[in-house]
């Protein structure tokens, strides 16, 4: 009986014979010894040492003939690395080849540009770095689901095909729905509000779409968003919940994904600071003043772009920062105005440090029927498409709100990546729809 073990677990089997099933990531020779670097989808790689003295003549011959990405079953004794802590090697005793890969594997071990790697995304996903990202993303998704499930939120799936716009009409993907026009959803929020009135607290978690025509390192055209929505809710409570969510994601990533973050070379103390919580909360007006005092050319009424967000992150010493009370004019139609000063919307955005930008956008929704109806008309939206939404204000309307956390930006931030394109298996961006 073979003792099948995953690479991430070999440390538990020192001096024992184990079998690894995986792929040849890299290989080299030194004199009569061959070094095979194996990967198997767990974290990191394992060096398998093939020496003629330890294995059969046949296994030794085979090892010399392998190509990159050949699938292999390798048996050997686990050894602790003589110098490096937590590093292990395998002294190979037996080697089987499942398939010898075609010799022209496109991704070699030299540097490739992002254009090329994006075309090879289906193969690029095999590299240890991409595996570490994929694993961290999956762990973050679990943290998010556990977070809401443990707090009594009920998951509700919103439709992807919708008749209505949520976040403005300029980024809608339009499609034919039989004899009608439909759009790919920009946000599940409007349906989340239905859920809040039915279930008290709910969350929507799924893909959302925006026809973003700009190329930036933070925008995808298809991205995932988690959107909690809660009845009887305030702006303060909204920021409290968002902060708990983000600090929990940081904390759990640090414990569950230590090895992945090591592969990615993530700066751990930066994440530890986020895990502690206590995010500053700054009024929009205050933020404008701070930016102006630091030489940024912003004026009251502007929305913040990447340079402002970067500056805000820097000014608060690497902590995520809440900005609240945005000018009503720059926010979507559904925002409730501050009762004390209608120039402001009861909105809150969380700006991540290190230039990762806005990871959460949310706020309190207009609950008054007449006011919301006027906002729909003023925005140029078709009233008939929003009658169902207005019903929530006709029948038992309550103060309510929530937010949307962008999964890919969060993954980029936790993993310390330069670009959101690496945070999802098959990124969709301007000019990218293959593979
Ligand atoms: O701020 P946004 O547009 O808010 C909404 O859609 C609200 N309806 C959410 C709600 O209150 N339920 O988007 C929310 C978050 C942003 O903070 C950002 O993290 C992410 O979604 N996001 C994107 N991520 C990647 N690519 C894009 N094009 C994104 N647009 C928004
Ligand atoms: Mg936003």
Residue pLDDT, tens place only, 83-109: 998 899 999 999 999 999 999 999 999
- Ligand closest to 411 (CA) is 1
Tell me the whole-structure pTM to 2 decimals.
0.96
Nearest CA to ligand 1 atom 15: 406
pLDDT at site 95: 96
Distance CA 165, CA 248 (A): 31
pLDDT at site 153: 98
pLDDT at site 363: 98
Distance 324 CA to ligand 2 centre (A): 12
> Is the CB–ligand 1 distance for residue 357 below 6 Å?
no
306-309's contacts with Cβ under 8 Å and 24+ in sequence apart are: 306/216, 306/218, 306/355, 306/357, 309/351, 309/355, 309/357, 309/358
Q: Which of 140, 170, 404 to mutate to test the pocket of ligand 1 (most atoms within 8 A of CB)?
A: 404
* Cα torsion angle, 144, 150, 153, 155, sign: positive
Q: Where in the chain do CATH 3.30.930.10 domains reside?
A: 121-422
> Is the CB–ligand 1 distance for residue 360 below 6 Å?
yes
- Ligand closest to 346 (CA) is 1
- Class at the top of the CATH hierarchy for domain 121-422: alpha beta
Closest CA to 79 of 48, 58, 120: 48
CATH architecture of 7-99: Beta Barrel (2.40)
Residue ranges in the chain whose pLDDT is less than 70: none
**The ligand 1 atom nearest the CA atom of 186:** 6
Helical (H) or strand (E) element with 189: helix 189-199
Place of tokens 């969060």: 410
Q: Which of 361, 365, 421 to mutate to test the pocket of ligand 1 (most atoms within 8 A of CB)?
A: 361
pLDDT at site 214: 84
pLDDT at site 168: 83
Maximum pairwise Cα distance, the chain: 85
- Pair of tokens at residue 342: 């209608």
111-117's contacts with Cβ under 8 Å and 24+ in sequence apart are: 114/419, 114/421
- Ligand closest to 357 (CA) is 1
* Cα torsion angle, 239, 228, 271, 324, sign: negative
* Cα torsion angle, 49, 50, 52, 55, sign: positive
- Pair of tokens at residue 334: 């559904």
Strands 88-99 and 46-50: parallel
Distance 362 CA to ligand 2 centre (A): 7
Distance 101 CA to ligand 2 centre (A): 46
- Pair of tokens at residue 374: 């006027």
**The ligand 1 atom nearest the CA atom of 212:** 28
Is residue 22 a contact partner of residue 40, using CB atoms and an 8 Å limit? yes
In angstroms, how far is CA 273 from the centroid of its own chain?
19
> Is the CB–ligand 1 distance for residue 359 below 6 Å?
yes
Distance 403 CA to ligand 2 centre (A): 9
Nearest CA to ligand 1 atom 6: 187
> Is the CB–ligand 1 distance for residue 403 below 6 Å?
yes
Nearest CA to ligand 1 atom 25: 219
Nearest CA to ligand 1 atom 1: 361
- Ligand closest to 359 (CA) is 1
Distances (CA, A) of 169 to 193, 239, 331, 416: 20, 27, 13, 32
Q: Where in the chain do CATH 2.40.50.140 domains reside?
A: 7-99
Q: What is the pLDDT of residues 395-414, one digit of tens each?
A: 999 999 999 999 999 999 99
User: 396: alpha, beta or left, given left = phi > 0 and alpha = psi -120 to 50?
Assistant: left
> Is the CB–ligand 1 distance for residue 230 below 6 Å?
no
**The ligand 1 atom nearest the CA atom of 228:** 12
> Is the CB–ligand 1 distance for residue 409 below 6 Å?
yes
> Is the CB–ligand 1 distance for residue 225 below 6 Å?
yes
Closest CA to 187 of 218, 162, 170: 162
Distance CA 408, CA 397 (A): 33
Is residue 266 a contact partner of residue 260, using CB atoms and an 8 Å limit? no
Distance 298 CA to ligand 2 centre (A): 18
**The ligand 1 atom nearest the CA atom of 192:** 12
Is residue 45 a contact partner of residue 7, using CB atoms and an 8 Å limit? yes
């Amino acid at each position: 009986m073979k003792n099948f073990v995953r690479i991430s677990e070999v440390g538990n089997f020192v001096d024992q014979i184990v079998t690894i099933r995986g792929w040849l990531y890299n290989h080299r020779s030194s004199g009569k010894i061959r070094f095979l670097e194996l990967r198997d989808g767990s974290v990191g790689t394992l060096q398998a040492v093939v020496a003629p003295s330890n294995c059969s003549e046949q296994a030794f011959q085979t090892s010399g003939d392998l190509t990159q990405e050949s699938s292999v079953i390798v048996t050997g004794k686990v050894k602790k690395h003589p110098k490096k802590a937590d590093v292990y090697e395998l002294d190979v005793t037996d080697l089987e080849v499942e398939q010898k890969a075609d010799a022209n594997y496109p991704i070699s071990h030299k540097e490739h540009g992002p254009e090329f790697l994006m075309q090879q995304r289906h193969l690029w996903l095999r590299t240890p770095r991409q595996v570490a990202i994929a694993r961290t993303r999956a762990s973050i998704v679990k943290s998010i689901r556990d977070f809401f499930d443990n707090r009594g939120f009920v998951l509700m799936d919103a439709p992807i095909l919708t008749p209505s716009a949520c976040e403005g009409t300029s980024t809608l993907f339009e499609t034919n729905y039989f004899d009608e026009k439909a759009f790919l959803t920009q946000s599940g929020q409007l349906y989340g509000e239905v859920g809040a009135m039915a279930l008290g607290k709910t969350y929507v978690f799924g893909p959302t779409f925006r026809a973003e025509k700009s190329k930036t390192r933070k925008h995808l055209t298809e991205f995932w968003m988690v959107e909690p929505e809660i009845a009887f809710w305030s702006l303060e409570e909204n920021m409290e919940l968002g902060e708990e969510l983000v600090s929990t994601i940081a904390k759990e990533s640090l414990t569950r994904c230590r090895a992945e973050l090591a592969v990615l070379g993530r700066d751990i103390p930066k994440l530890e600071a986020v895990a502690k919580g206590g995010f500053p909360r700054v009024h929009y007006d205050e933020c404008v003043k701070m930016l102006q005092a630091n030489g940024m050319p912003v004026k009251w009424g502007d929305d913040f772009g990447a340079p402002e967000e970067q500056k805000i992150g820097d000014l608060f010493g690497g902590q995520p920062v809440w900005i609240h009370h945005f000018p009503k004019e720059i926010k979507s139609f559904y925002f409730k105005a501050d009762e004390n000063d209608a120039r402001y919307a009861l909105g809150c955005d969380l700006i991540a440090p290190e230039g990762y930008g806005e990871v959460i956008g949310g706020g309190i929704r207009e609950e008054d029927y007449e006011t919301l109806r006027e906002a729909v008309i003023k925005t140029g939206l078709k009233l008939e498409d929003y009658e169902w939404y207005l019903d929530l204000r006709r029948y038992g309307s309550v103060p309510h709100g929530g937010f949307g956390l962008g999964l890919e930006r969060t993954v980029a931030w936790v993993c310390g990546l330069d670009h959101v394109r690496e945070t999802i298996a098959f990124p969709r961006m301007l000019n990218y729809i293959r593979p």
